[in-house]
Amino acid sequence: MLHVAIAPALPDVLLTPFSVQGRRESKGIAVPSHVHDEGMLVLVHAGLVVVQAGAEVWTVMPGSLGWIPPGVRHGARWFGEARGSFLYVRQDVCARLPARCRSWPSSKLIEALVERFTGAGVETVSPAYQAQLFDVLLEELKHREHEALPLPMPADPRLQELAHTLLDTPDDTAGIDEWAQRLNMSSRTLMRRFRQETGVTLGQWRQQARLLRALELLCRGGSVTEAALSVGYESTSAFIGSFRAAFGATPTRYLAGRG
């Protein structure tokens, strides 16, 4: 498994940029648990990011901007191709952003601002101009609805391994009995522990994981049929029905709304 190193922040600079890019890896690309004094904004260009901060776990889709406040210990796992732009936010201005981890659907303006902060020629941006652009970014975020795509993760290492495998291979057809055997526990124990630790059944969790991986593919321009088949659905209609039940709209309407 590939591990992503965390770049250092410049404490006297309002925004310190760095980027991550990596090919698809088995079980995802791991970002080890860590903590930093600065806040962090991340614009996900490709891949599905599952972030764990204490007991709180949430997902950041491609085309979304995630936020991690300063002082919050967190780790992440990046599924699919990993590509993202990161901004450390100087500690003294973090109070202008939420006190908890969250994410927002991006916009053309947000993407343009992040590109200005991280792209070529960023060293020519004066501190005063950077502060003005940061004000614009914060104002834009006020008009973006908080994006919540829950995927509760278990604490038990064996159940985490199961969860990561299902995220990495959403078309895996193994049933409860086979997974219980792999984890060296009874089927009854597996189902009971998974529900105790996540609040949902393994079947419900697996369906949500499949839909999130399908959404990742859709955000990269894949067709509805490609997304359905890639995550193990036998028919497009069944996939669309599950997607509508989870997200309140068909895949096409959901993506149009994000745009």
Q: Which two tokens stand for residue 65?
A: 């901007």
Q: What angle do CA 165, 170, 173 make, to 5 degrees?
A: 90
Q: Where a domain ends, among 142, 165, 184?
A: 142
pTM here is 0.69
Average pLDDT (243-248) is 86
Q: What angle do CA 111, 243, 257 make, to 5 degrees?
A: 35
What is the CATH classification number for the domain harbouring 201? 1.10.10.60
Residue 167 has pLDDT above 70, yes or no: yes
Is 147 inside a domain boundary?
Answer: no
pLDDT at 25: 65
pLDDT at 27: 62
Tokens 């309140």 found at: 248
pLDDT at 138: 96
pLDDT at 47: 80
Asked whether residue 21 falls in the same domain as residue 104, the answer is: yes
Q: Where a domain ends, among 142, 177, 212?
A: 142
CB 21 within 8 Å of CB 5: no
| Total count of domains within the chain | 2
What is the C-alpha to C-alpha distance for residues 226 and 232, in angstroms, rounded to an integer? 10
CB 14 within 8 Å of CB 130: yes
pLDDT at 6: 57
Tokens 């990046």 found at: 78
Within the chain, what is the greatest distance between any pair of CA atoms? 62
What is the C-alpha to C-alpha distance for residues 235 and 150, in angstroms, rounded to an integer? 25
Virtual CA dihedral for 117, 38, 110, 258, nearest 10 degrees? 150
Average pLDDT (36-50) is 89
Is 7 inside a domain boundary?
Answer: no
* Structural domain that includes position 56: 15-142
* Residue 39's pLDDT band (cuts 50, 70, 90): very high
Asked whether residue 126 falls in the same domain as residue 175, the answer is: no
What is the C-alpha to C-alpha distance for residues 67 and 89, in angstroms, rounded to an integer? 10
Residue 258 has pLDDT above 70, yes or no: no
Asked whether residue 218 falls in the same domain as residue 249, the answer is: yes
Residue 114 has pLDDT above 90, yes or no: yes
CA-wise closest residue to 39 among 115, 92, 111: 92
Q: What is the DSSP letter of 11?
A: T
Residues 6+ apart with CB under 8 A from 166: 172, 205, 206, 209
Asked whether residue 112 falls in the same domain as residue 165, the answer is: no
pLDDT, tens digit (0-9, with 9 covering 90-100), for 62-111: 888 999 999 999 888 887 778 899 999 999 999 999 998 888 988 999 99
The secondary structure element, H or E, covering residue 179 is: helix 176-182
Is 99 inside a domain boundary?
Answer: yes
pLDDT, tens digit (0-9, with 9 covering 90-100), for 191-217: 999 999 988 999 999 998 898 888 878
* Strand ranges inside the chain, DSSP E: 15-22, 29-34, 39-53, 56-60, 64-68, 74-89, 102-105
pLDDT at 173: 85
* Residue 2's pLDDT band (cuts 50, 70, 90): very low
Mean pLDDT of the chain: 85
pLDDT at 21: 77
Residue 117 has pLDDT above 80, yes or no: yes
What is the CATH classification number for the domain harbouring 136? 2.60.120.280
